[in-house]
Amino acid sequence: MNWGQNAFQYHDNQLHCEDAPLAAIAETVGTPVYVYSQAALLERAAAFVTAVPPNTLVCYATKANGNPMLLRLLAEAGLGGDVTSGGELFLALHAGILPDKIIYSGVGKTQAEIEMALDARIRALHVESEMELGTIAAIAESRRQIARIGVRVNPNIDAQTHPYISTGLHGHKFGVNPERAMAMMQQAANHPWLEPVGIAAHIGSQITKLSPYAETAQFLIGMADELAGMGIALDYLDMGGGLGIDYNEPQLTKNIQQSTPSIGDWVTAVSEPIAKAGYNLVLEPGRSIVGPVGALITRVVYTKEQGGKQFIIADTGMNDLLRPSLYQAHHPIWPVNKASVVRHPSSVVDIVGPICETSDTLAKERPFPPTEPGDLLAILQAGAYGFAMASNYNGRLRPAEVLVNSDQFHIIRQRQTYQHLLDGAA
Ligand code: LLP
């Protein structure tokens, strides 16, 4: 079974994750609940591992979904980790990701976080400013420990994605421009306690075209060749992550029109030029591994008509899944029980949450079959940046997370209780 693309499917009008009925999971665990397919996760991880050339390191971007069980499965599948805070480094190590497979990116690493990375002896810290390089150098020197570093370059390449998740243009806070990156690499090469090992670029997220990557690859190769001319030989070029997934209604239509490149196509596009130029590759995919693997299951609390509009009010909202509110992102939403869809025409509705914000909308003006309080809905493509961006806003509890393996399911994170709202409080 090819779960990697289609982990959520109807059998007899009942939506399943693999072979487990979502209604049974909701009944047992309650709602809202994030449900993940183990088979889909492993298939997608394997798609990376088998497609990359030898000596490539695939560092899963843990920010996309840091659930400890999912991280452990990805570690066992051979993936490394791209971390962006002390907390993510802690989670990556806890999951058993080998330190040599961990890279640390981010514009604001504190001294304590740098010390933590050096303690763990991770593969490299990816530096994003001269000031940060100075801090790492001072810490490395005082510890008398070599710090392996890469410099994150801002290539000024337009990723052609949502402005909030585009990161590779000069006006963005990420990385440094190429001239400064070259100077920083030289400075590192001349420093007794720094070892420059790579250069990195991450131009953005939810990218659906390959051309910005071709441009980025040429850009990094050009820089690496120049560095080689200066006597600085690199271990790797890091092309970042950013491969988009299909947030349209992928499985309802029979003739699936793939609007995003496949994992294999992306890996080929990013790895071929780099391998040809004789460099090793690092990748940092997040969304493309976990996005399609997860759905957020919610129960309808009420329906309501107002101002000529129909609202479906769900028991989940922007506190659990921020993407629609923050980026006007479209997530497919399907009824868990499809029986009514077959018999009744759809009407146009807004599917909203219980949060006291007008932007707390999961779907706007969406054709949807008749729905009643108590019905279950599945918000698809929610495995990436779903739970990871969840909050306790409005005093709401973070949802449970469940992992499905065939027809079995296990809670891999308990729903919070009201006691959690008092955590750490005086
Ligand atoms: N590497 C770096 C340095 C990153 O900053 C990111 C994501 C990744 C890798 C992974 O990118 P991916 O393969 O997942 O696109 N919250 C937003 C996405 C923010 C992405 C931040 N950086 C969303 O929900 O769309």
Is the pLDDT at 253 greater than 60? The verdict is no
Say what the pLDDT of residue 254 is. Answer: 46
Angle between helix 86-94 and 68-76 (nearest 10): 60
> What's the CA-to-centroid distance between 88 and ligand 1, angstroms?
14
| CB contact burial 357-382 (16+ within 10 A = b; e otherwise) | eeebbbbeebebbbbeeebbbbbbbb
The candidate with the shortest Cα–Cα distance to 84, out of 59, 109, 65, is 109
> What's the CA-to-centroid distance between 305 and ligand 1, angstroms?
37
CB-defined site of ligand 1, < 6 Å: 61, 63-64, 82, 105, 165, 202, 205-206, 240-243, 284-288, 323, 327, 384-385
> What's the CA-to-centroid distance between 243 and ligand 1, angstroms?
9
Q: Is 17 a catalytic residue?
A: no
- What 3-state class would DSSP assign to 229? helix
* Index of the ligand 1 atom closest to the CA of residue 152: 3
Tens digits of residue pLDDT in 357-389? 999 999 999 999 999 999 999 999 999 999 999
β-pairing, 14-17 vs 8-11, is antiparallel
> What's the CA-to-centroid distance between 295 and ligand 1, angstroms?
19
Say what the pLDDT of residue 342 is. Answer: 63
Say what the pLDDT of residue 294 is. Answer: 98
Neighbours of 401 (CB within 10 A): 26
Is the pLDDT at 1 greater than 80? The verdict is no
* Index of the ligand 1 atom closest to the CA of residue 285: 13
> What's the CA-to-centroid distance between 413 and ligand 1, angstroms?
23
- Residue range 294-317: mean pLDDT, rounded: 97
Q: Whose CA is nearest to atom 20 of ligand 1?
A: 205
Tens digits of residue pLDDT in 11-41? 999 999 999 999 999 999 999 999 999 999 9
Domains of the chain: 8-36+292-422 (2.40.37.10), 105-285 (3.20.20.10)
Name the active-site residue from 112, 342, 356, 426.
356
